[in-house]
Each structure stands twice: as structure tokens, then as C-alpha cells.
Structure 1
């Protein structure tokens, strides 16, 4: 650091002994052009740099006559302070741009940070020490300072925000319903949402006609409690002692599949008891008699199969049972066996209705709407509903409580160390008019 600063203040390398030192002054920016945090950081950096140059010049002069230990110590202290300021300037901020760095990006920026930027690196280091060795003194102190609603020192410690965001991102890629559903992160155990089931009454009137009072909109309160989901990966002491192993990445890989399998099943068939409520668990009714609180269905007209002729007509009826606003973002949801039957359908010209993915990472489509393959959907059977169609981003809501906790257990399964990892998640239908089902019934 000292060499860098000397090169900045003395172009062309170190000057010859006794030659004057040329200094370049940095013009201060107008206060209106800089933010408050940036002003403070830049001013502190420039003041420390000026003090560094003055102390260094004094040291050089002292060296001409005799060595001075006090000058060396003072220069070392200022040099360390400059290094700390440079490190802080590179840390990501909570938003916008700061001194020498940019705002926090990626998935972690969606719900903010539990820790200040100056504590984030310390928390990550303390968490890794807890995972590898079981030391919890540093981690407990940090989480007590954070006053996080999700912090529970007696039941585990919060993983760093980067790891939590990584797991949620992986779940979105693996869990089929989570990938297309709406998502909300909350700090409480229950998320309540009002929903207007009817709008205000309106009407046309003449210029001098009396205006009748309009009816009050009908509101429904939707409640989404979060339930605890856990996974318990095991590791050997040798794995944890290996410094080359990325602990955050390892935890994410271990829990992602277990969480995704449990979530995928619950978002479709969950009964709401200690798990989210799936959209197939709600009452169903024929679309002609649809009412709020129930999922509308279109029947094939034949129990357990598609009609022998014009089978694709029932799919068209299902598509247009959705309102135009919901159809714009609609998806088909079915398992692979149902998709195998559906993809055999052809139009009058002999062209298959099912189309393969148009590119890498894209989904197959049916009548120009993407297909999401979910293995927890039921197979084709009499009175079953193996095909769903709707705007799941509006129709189904996944609720995640902030925080992913890890409790280290080196005793229960020696010589393995268990990591009891928990998260709280809920889910349910939030718009009953945005999802429709195809019933294989007469």
C-alpha cells in the first residue's frame, strides 16, 4: 500500500535523495453532487491520504539524519487505516453506488440485508467457523446485535444472506410450481392479504338524473401461514476440515433437492396441515357454476379419457374459460404421463398440437402456451383432474419467511456431524378465477 501511494504522489518512481516531492491535490466535489455516505467516505479517505503523505515526507527527512521509530510506527498505523478504508469502499452497499463500489445486486437484493455492510463479511466468517468447528460465540453476538425477527440462537443460526438467496434461487429452478407461482417474503409467521372479490357498482345516468349510492366492494381476507420445512444433511469431520470446500455451496446443494421435492408435492396436493395448501385441495365446481373459493373445471365428457373425436376441443374450452387478462401469462401443468397422451393430439391437417421447446431453457408448448411438467399432478383416471391451466403467478402464492436456519449437531450420529437446516414456507390459492382444471369425467 505504501509503494502504491508513493508512486501516486511521486510520478516516475521514488525521487532521488534530497529532491523535492511533487504532490497532486484532489479537488473537492461540490456537496450537491455527492451523497451523504459517499461524502463522508471520500472525505475520510482523502484526509487520511494527506496525513499519510505528510507522515511519509517526515519519515524521509528523518531517515536523512537518523532512524526514527516513532515516525515508522505512525506511518504503519496510517497505512493500516488506508487499507481498511479501501476495503470498506469495495464492500457492496444497500443500494445505489458508493465510494469505489456499486449497489447490491442479484437475488439477495430482493429482500434487503439483515446486517449492515460492515458486518456482512464478519457474519459470513463467523458462520463458516460455526459450521466447521462449532464455535458459536462470534455468531451469537452478531445476531443479537442484528435484532433479526428470524434469529433464533436456541434453535439454530441464520445462514449468510448469499447462501439463503442461493437456495431460494435453486428451489425456483427445481420446484416447478414455485417457478411459475407468485412469491412473497415476509417477516411474520402468517401473511394476510385482503382481496376484492367484487368491485364498486357503477352505472350510466343522465345529466340531471339522481345518482344512486353505489354498493361497497366485497373484500375477502386470505391467510397464508408459514410451516416449517427441514432437511438434515450429514458431513464428516474431514470434509469440514478441508479448507477447499465451500461450506455455503455445500449446504445449498444438500438441501435444495430435499426442499424442492417436499415443496413441489405440497403446492399441488398439500392439505394445509403443517404444510402449504395445494391448489388441488380446494373445492372444485363446474365452470358454469363457478363461485369464489372454488376452482372451476371443464369436463371431457368421457370418464377417464379424452373424447374419441375432436379431443382438442376440450383443451380449447379450457383455455377460453380463463379471462383474457389471465390468459396472457397462462401455463399448462401436468405430469409426464399425461403429457405423453396430450402430445399425440393432431389438428385437422395432421400437425401435432404439442410443440418442442423453441430454445435452450425454454418449455414445450401446447397451443402456444408453455407446459410445466410437475410429477405430483395426478395421472389420467375417472373423475381425476390431471391437467391445470392458468395464470399461476396471479392464482397461487408461495410465502417464504425470511431466514434459513442451521443447527449443528455433532452428537446424534457420530462420527458424522448433522446440520439440521430449516426454513418456513406457506402457500395457497390467492385468485380462484386464475386457475382452471380439466376433469376427466362424463
Structure 2
């Protein structure tokens, strides 16, 4: 029996609404459960990928580029795709001697990549390891050499003072030449974000620069390259004069003398002035070193001794030996061994910047990277280096 004021069928309608609302809430909760399951599965998949990739959520290059070093991310993007927007936002334009964007469209490498190249050059067996290396911001580097003494004389108390000699200054100008390398890689390889672009590029450039630099510092002719110390005029040490390098003979036409072969090494050491011997080093290639290290003194002791600790150079008669493969082999007339204070005798001048131009058009589907630096070198003290000439006299 229906109560007064209540619409017919009202109770049934209310129950139907409640039932529908309960079904809706149940479906929402079920949907939320499914979402939680999907989220959990997604998190597990991400965690699995991170474990496979060494604990990083992204490839190592991309992750390293984004954490505190936005210039690396921008530089990597430029190498892979040519996108320079990131570089323009980070690197100031139009300043010649900074990490600036050059007017010709080139970009200096970021500091971390440049340091990688530099470390490879310094750690190799090159004259660079013992020479004086200066960084300049000009087209050349001038060295002033004082090669004379002020005159003097004894005077009496009342006698007139006589004029004495005036010191003479020599100017040695070292022009800087451009050294370049142009490695290439496919665009597909560059698109792989897990590829270490900076490391690959640094290795390729370092190898090319090493070969060219090391050879030029020894035998470069000075034409569009550094002038090597072996290209300087050479005279017998007894006739030595400024502007040439003095040499002593080995005692045989194309080898060491058959009797007392070590005598020429001793003569070479003492042909160098005492003021230079304290910081002097021998320079020779591996073949020559193989012959020298067999030499003994009159008491049967080897003149050659290996370094006592890892990384220390071998020593000949107590002086360090630099094994430089760009030195000539033992042959008739060859100056196969040098001895001197190269920090005083040879100067390398270089610009501190390293530029890279990206060329995606000339060798499609490869991308060319033209890298360049400027470096020069020359003898700055002709008295600081002596040579051993393989000749009778």
C-alpha cells in the first residue's frame, strides 16, 4: 500500500539509481586498478632498460650532455644534424680568440673535446714533449735571443774608461701554419645517439695531427708547415757559428766505429756547452736506440739504462732518451742522433683554439668534419742542440 504524497513506483526508481551508481563506481575502481597495473608494468620495463644500459634512463652521450653541461648537448646535436640553435644560445659570436662562432660558419670545439685532443698530443713521443711550447694569439711568435756578453775590462783608478762591447740581440720569428684533418662518418652513424661522437672525433683528429706535427718538428721545410730542427744548416762542431747546428762524426761512413764505438757518444755529450747539459736529452728512433743500447764503456758497463719507474724515460750516460720515430735511421751522412736542451733550443708556438666545420653536402651520405689548428716551430738557440753525423769525419 503506497503512502500519501509518494509517487507511485518511487522506491523502485531510487533503488535502480543506487544500483546504477554502484555499478559505475565499481567500473571506475576496476579501471583504476588496470591503470595501476599498466603503470607498474611500464615502470618495470623502464627499470629493465636502465639495467641493460648500465643504470641510465637514456644513452650515455645524451645523459652526459644534459647534466650540467648544456654545451656538450648542443655540440653533439650540431655534429649529428647540423642544428646550431643550441650553440648560438650558448657560445658568443664574433670574438676571434675565444670559444666563438667564426664568421665563416665554423665552431670551436667545446673545452672537454679540445682537452681530449691536447692530451693525446702531449702524451706521444714527439719533440713537443721536450721543446718549449707557447700559446699565442697572433699570426707569428717572435723570440729575442741574447747571444753575446757585455764587454768588460780592468781599469786603473785614474785611467780613462775604455768603451766595451755591446750585447747583440737576435730575433727569431716563428710563423703559425694551419694544420688540418678531415675525417668523415655516415649520417646514419651520427644519428645513433649512443655513439660517442666527441671521442671518435677527438681520436681521428689527434691521429692526423700527431703524424703531421711530429714529422714537421723534426724535418719540416718551413713551407706551410713548421721548420724542423734537422733542416737547419749543419757544420762540423769545430767550425760552429750562430745560425747552424754543430755535429760530431761517428767515426765510420755509415755506422759506429768498429773500435771504441761509444767514443762518439761521449764526444757528442761534451760538444754541448755545460750550461745546456743539465737539461739535455738524446733524441733518436727505435732502430738507432737498438744499436746504441748495446754499447759498453771500457769497464764493460752498458751506457744505456732503462727507467727505474714506470713512465720514466731510458737514460744514456745519465741523460734522458726520447724515442722519436721521425728521426732518420743510421745511414751514410745521416744525422740520426741529436743531443741538446730542446726547451732552450726549439720553440713550438700554437693558437689555443681548435675549429670544426661540418659539411653534410660534399660526400653524401657521409658527413665531413674539417678540423684545423695553427702551429709553428723553429730553432731558437743554435748553441743548444748538437748532432751526431754518421761519417768518418
TM range, smaller chain: 0.7 to 0.9
Q: Which moved more, 1:348-357 or 1:376-385?
A: 348-357
Runs of 4+ in 1 over 6 A off after TM superposition: none
Secondary structure at 2:332's aligned position in 1?
coil
Does residue 136 of the first structure (1) align with residue 88 of the second (2)?
A: no
Paired residue for 2:285? 335
Work out which of the residue numbers 236, 243, 249 in structure 2 matches 1:293. Answer: 243
1:249-292 CA-partner distances (Å, limit 9, x unpaired): 33221111111111111101100001100000010011111111
Work out which of the residue numbers 139, 143, 152 in structure 2 matches 1:202. Answer: 152
Query: Is the contact between residue 283 and residue 322 of structure 2 (CA under 8 Å) also seen in structure 1?
Result: yes
Work out which of the residue numbers 104, 114, 126 in structure 1 matches 2:74. Answer: 126
TM-score, normalised with respect to structure 2: 0.77
Paired residue for 1:242? 192
How far apart, in 2, do the equivalents of 1:228 and 1:155 lie?
17
Paired residue for 1:429? 379
Does residue 354 of the first structure (1) align with residue 354 of the second (2)?
A: no
TM-score, normalised with respect to structure 1: 0.69
How far apart, in 1, do the equivalents of 2:272 and 2:366 lie?
53
Paired residue for 2:257? 307
Work out which of the residue numbers 126, 134, 138 in structure 2 matches 1:176. Answer: 126
How far apart, in 2, do the equivalents of 1:207 and 1:131 lie?
78
Query: Is the contact between residue 297 and residue 303 of structure 2 (CA under 8 Å) also seen in structure 1?
Result: yes
Superposition map of 1:225-304 within 5 A: 225-304=175-254
Paired residue for 1:396? 346
Distance change in 2, residues 1:205/1:213 (3 Å):
same
Does residue 367 of the first structure (1) align with residue 323 of the second (2)?
A: no
Once the 2 structures are TM-superposed, how far is the Cα of residue 224 of structure 1 from its aligned partner?
Answer: 0.6
Paired residue for 1:71? none
Query: Is the contact between residue 334 and residue 386 of structure 1 (CA under 8 Å) also seen in structure 2?
Result: yes
Query: Is the contact between residue 125 and residue 322 of structure 2 (CA under 8 Å) also seen in structure 1?
Result: no
Once the 2 structures are TM-superposed, how far is the Cα of residue 216 of structure 1 from its aligned partner?
Answer: 2.2
Distance change in 2, residues 1:275/1:155 (3 Å):
farther
Paired residue for 1:65? none
Query: Is the contact between residue 158 and residue 404 of structure 1 (CA under 8 Å) also seen in structure 2?
Result: yes
Distance change in 2, residues 1:207/1:252 (3 Å):
farther
1:54-77 CA-partner distances (Å, limit 9, x unpaired): xxxxxxxxxxxxxxxxxxxxxxxx
Aligned residues: 323
Once the 2 structures are TM-superposed, how far is the Cα of residue 364 of structure 1 from its aligned partner?
Answer: 1.5
Higher RCO (CA 8 Å, separation ≥ 6 residues): 2
Secondary structure at 1:387's aligned position in 2?
strand
Distance change in 2, residues 1:376/1:127 (3 Å):
same
Distance change in 2, residues 1:192/1:327 (3 Å):
same
Once the 2 structures are TM-superposed, how far is the Cα of residue 205 of structure 1 from its aligned partner?
Answer: 2.5
Structure 1 unmatched ranges of 5 or more: 1-119
Q: Which moved more, 1:241-250 or 1:226-235?
A: 241-250
Paired residue for 1:78? none
Query: Is the contact between residue 175 and residue 261 of structure 1 (CA under 8 Å) also seen in structure 2?
Result: no
Query: Is the contact between residue 125 and residue 323 of structure 2 (CA under 8 Å) also seen in structure 1?
Result: no
How far apart, in 2, do the equivalents of 1:441 and 1:230 lie?
38
How far apart, in 2, do the equivalents of 1:218 and 1:139 lie?
51
Structure 2 unmatched ranges of 5 or more: 1-67
How far apart, in 2, do the equivalents of 1:406 and 1:383 lie?
42
Paired residue for 2:267? 317
Once the 2 structures are TM-superposed, how far is the Cα of residue 428 of structure 1 from its aligned partner?
Answer: 0.6
Query: Is the contact between residue 295 and residue 436 of structure 1 (CA under 8 Å) also seen in structure 2?
Result: yes
Paired residue for 2:26? none
Query: Is the contact between residue 129 and residue 135 of structure 1 (CA under 8 Å) also seen in structure 2?
Result: yes
Does residue 376 of the first structure (1) align with residue 336 of the second (2)?
A: no
Query: Is the contact between residue 175 and residue 263 of structure 1 (CA under 8 Å) also seen in structure 2?
Result: no
Paired residue for 1:406? 356
How far apart, in 1, do the equivalents of 2:82 and 2:224 lie?
30
Secondary structure at 1:386's aligned position in 2?
strand
